[in-house]
Amino acid sequence: MQKQKHRILILGASGYIGNAIYRELCSYFDTYGTYCSAHELYENNQAFIAYDLENSNITKALEDIKPTLIISALRGNFKAQYHAHKEVCRYVTVHATCRLLFLSSVSVFDGLSSFPSYENDRPSAVSEYGKFKVSVEKLLVEKIKKKLSILRLPMVLGAYSPRIMQLRQAIKHQASFDVHPNLIISITTANTIAKQVHYIINKELTGIFHLASNDLAHHQDLFIEICEKIGNKTPIFKSIYNSNDDQYLAILPKYNTLPKNYQITVADVVKNCVLEDVVTIKN
């Protein structure tokens, strides 16, 4: 298969979501990724570059790879991430053909709880994580708005997602697992995000996208249903109440919707969470 025109660099390609995106794109584009922790899967793979967020400068990787598209799925120290994104902005500004896809979060709206949030809503965060994501969004919009796609993500689940693996361990050891009875959320899977990113790249779309399920679920009800489908055992559910009333930590697509075959529902995510297939990392 002949690869398409883009040379892509995924920052944070060894993470759960970043690696799903890498596996989706690597057969179609000239795709590279960064990793932080030493790992034999990446050390011997010429498509992966070692990058220590706190002790390295991303500029060298950018100049070596010369990407036409950068996907930021970075995690780690907030101050170091912010500095890295300033360097990315400089690179994108100087290189006319380059643009950026930034993976943001529903947490930019964690200061709002009365309704789900849409693409054009003004972010309002109270958590440190939410405030950080807002600060990076503002930086990117100010510097490279016309060459930017902001992809806000809800809770990401799936059969081998960190949250579901934690749930399985809690079931196995009869340990506690936190649930929020009054919290209403939207969700998705890493594989769905990867396919949506592929579509956004192919169509050269810019702007803000809410890559979330089209419907919502109560946090506690969601994990009870997943447990029922996994088997007949449950962990010790620990109910956390932040309010007597229902609260939302949810994003929904409304203005920048993708075609129907790139959309997902809560039921689709639940089904994906109980798959027994062995997941392997494609190099």
Reported as a pLDDT band with limits 50, 70 and 90, residue 231 is confident
In this model, does residue 283 exceed pLDDT 80?
A: no
In a domain, 168, yes or no: no
Residue 232 placed within a domain = no
Q: Is position 131 within any domain?
A: yes
Which one, of 185, 2, 9, 202, lies nearest residue 88 by Cα? 9
Q: How many CB atoms lie within 10 A of CB 216?
A: 18
**Mean pLDDT in residue range 96-108:** 97
**pLDDT in the model for residue 183:** 97
Q: In CATH, what number is assigned to the domain containing residue 205?
A: 3.40.50.720
Assess whether pLDDT exceeds 90 at residue 116: yes
Q: What's the average model confidence in pLDDT over 144-151? A: 97
Domain assignment present for 128: yes
Among the ranges 54-63, 70-79, 238-247, 273-282, which has the highest mean pLDDT value? 70-79
Taking the C-alpha atoms of residue 89 and residue 177, their distance in angstroms, rounded to an integer, is 40
**Is 144 part of a structural domain of the chain?**
yes
Say if residues 180 and 220 touch (Cβ distance below 8 Å).
yes
pLDDT at 40 over 70: no
Query: How far is Cα 29 from Cα 17, in angstroms, rounded to an integer?
Result: 18
Lowest mean pLDDT across 35-49, 52-66, 96-110, 128-142:
35-49
Q: In this structure, are residues 144 and 92 in contact, taking their beta carbons and an 8 Å threshold?
A: yes
Q: What one-character DSSP code corresponds to residue 251?
A: B
CB atoms within 10 A of CB 60: 12
Please count the structural domains in the chain. Answer: 1
Q: Average of pLDDT values for 99-122?
A: 97
169, part of any domain? no
In this structure, which amino acid lies at residue 283? Answer: N
Give CA 51 to chain center in angstroms: 19
Residue 224 is assigned to a structural domain of this protein: no
With a cut of 80, say whether residue 168 has pLDDT above it.
yes
DSSP-derived secondary structure for 84-115: HHHHHHHHHHHSTT-EEEEEEEGGGGTT--SS
Query: According to the model, what pLDDT value does residue 232 have?
Result: 78
Q: Is residue 56 part of a domain?
A: yes
User: Under DSSP, is residue 209 helix (H, G, I), strand (E, B) or coil?
Assistant: strand
Q: Is the pLDDT of residue 89 over 60?
A: yes
pLDDT given for residue 170 in this prediction: 95
Confidence tier at 115 by pLDDT (50, 70, 90): very high
| C-alpha torsion 155→160→166→168, nearest 10 | 120
Q: What is the pLDDT of residues 170-224, one digit of tens each?
A: 999 999 999 999 999 999 999 999 999 999 999 999 999 999 999 999 999 999 9
**170 and 176 in contact (C-beta within 8 Å)?**
yes
What confidence tens digit (pLDDT) does each residue in 244-270 have? 899 999 999 999 999 999 999 999 999
Question: What is the domain range of residue 57?
Answer: 7-155+188-212
Percent of the chain topping pLDDT 70 = 93
Assess whether pLDDT exceeds 70 at residue 4: no
Confidence of residue 277 (pLDDT cuts 50, 70, 90): very low
Let me know: does 267 contact 216? Beta carbons within 8 Å.
Answer: no
Q: Is the pLDDT of residue 46 over 60?
A: yes
